[in-house]
Structure 1
Amino acid sequence: MNIQFIVIAAVLVVVVLALVLYPVLKAQAKVGLAVLAIGAVGAGALYWQLGTPEALDARLVNQPRSMKDAIYQLETALAKDEKQPEGWALLAQSYRQDGQFEKSRDAFAKATALAPDNVAFLTDAAESRAMADAQHRFDPQAIEMLQRASTKDANNERARWFLGVALRQQGKNAEAAETWTPLLARVESAAAEALLPQVNLARVAAGLPEIQMPARASSEARGLDVHVKIDPALAKDSRVTADTAVYVIARLPDGQPMPIAARKLALSELPATVNLTDADSPMPTAKLSTVKSVEVFARLSFGGTANRGEGDIETAPVRVVLPAKSAVSLELKRE
């Protein structure tokens, strides 16, 4: 609450009331002064109870210009409604980017408490516990999270990678090698080439022979065709121009908001059919070819950024089992 604003408002109320009540003040000073005091205090109290104090805080009203601003907005929103697992996960990610690893760990713990079956949250929460540790070790609680995540989604690369790291830290080299080996056929070639020596180091430490790179499936075989068009009525909107950005996004169902694959188009290119592949992934450890299903949608972004902004228009998400047998059709239209 901005106390300075309330004081100024109260003073203005006093001035206005003084002008209005001048005849009363002149005739009955005590009564007039009492009315002035009640009016000033009442105005402040009424604003305190019914006003919108957040509107006085520029950090809440304006778009965040820094990580600190984004964290402040998330903290404020979660203070009002704590039962938002996605909000806690986003705050945890923001803390991590800001180097506040202990706060990130605690925020992820709240996200997993609200969504205990969310594989992405479990994996991120385990990683955050290791990052908050002085020696970057996965503690028993982190390992339990990774085991749960891997059980729920055996194809989750991050959970499997971190679980292997945790097992190596414990000296369970054979188990670590066994955990990592399936990744060799799933991750991109460059990542697999970097991982193979780690697998073999773990195998040698366990007294096992080294292995060769397994046969790899083509990542392009699981590309996803998406056809996008815009409703003619929306195309006539005064805000829409030929250069307005359109994002075609595939993300994990019920998972973290970071896309598995994304492609940017200009509105002038619509209608268009795009083929989303591993090359469209913004994350090296999460590829389209490694997941079983995705949610696909298109976003008309007036701000030109991939993150959803005020006034942006999205299609309803379509859940697709991979590999898809046909193209997904999306139409941007007024909400």
Structure 2
Amino acid sequence: PDTALEAADLLRMERIGELIDQRVQTRPDNLYYWIFLAQLAQSRSDRSAAAEYFDNALGLDPKNTYLLASYAEALFLLDGKITTDRVREAVDRAFLADANNTATLSLKGISEFSESRFEEAIEFWERAQQTWPIDSDQWRSLQVGIDRAENALRPAEMEQVSTDKSPILQINLSFGAEVPHSREQRVFVAVLGRDAVEGDRMPIAARKLVAGDLPLTLTLSDSDSLVRSRRLSDQRFVQVTARLSGGGTATPQSGDWEGLSAIVDLHSEPGELRLEISGRRP
């Protein structure tokens, strides 16, 4: 039954499209005709027609932020999902008109990634993520790009900090009873160097998890170290922090839930460290 209804709706839209296609010949100044035809072309996956119709609509309303973003997206699809010069120009125009449009932010991220500006790509994609629920397909799709950009930021020598996976620190990680969370939310765990004299707190190792994995016992080794010259096994005093990200980003935000351990002396072989995410950032 659902399939039959969808087929009937599609047929009805096609008939309306034929009528509007005739009317737009005599009323080419009707903005909504061009928008309807563009959207209908998108539903048919007719990328060339969609780009042409959005371009015609922009001729009537060149500052319309929806049209600018839609035209940029249509060009991107038409050009085989490649950031060509005309795509980049259209994306920049759309961004100047509305720096918060979700589609434009996604395209800006793609544009920056294609130029190997990975930090900028992450920034745009994280901003776009904030407009979608964390359990949505759109949020997950953006996260795939963010993960790729984060991996690209780590040179090969840092990816291969050490092949030694011997456990150095074990963390029993859990949520406090009062902490609301969904299975898809991101949890960022970091080991901070903590020199007993200078109070230095530099990230030594890190791991990214999903909330649905907790509670769990996390084992960290030199393979989790971020920099070859600062291996986890070379440290003595460390602290562990774990943060449940409300927006799914690596940057701490107000309202995130987190936990911070006491200073741990790795040389004293503390065994399993217990860490609960139960405090909320102001």
TM-score (norm 1): 0.40
TM-score (norm 2): 0.47
Higher helix proportion (structure 1 or 2): 1
* Greater relative contact order (CA < 8 Å, ≥ 6 in sequence): 2
Between structure 1 and structure 2, the one with the greater Rg is: 1
Higher strand proportion (structure 1 or 2): 2
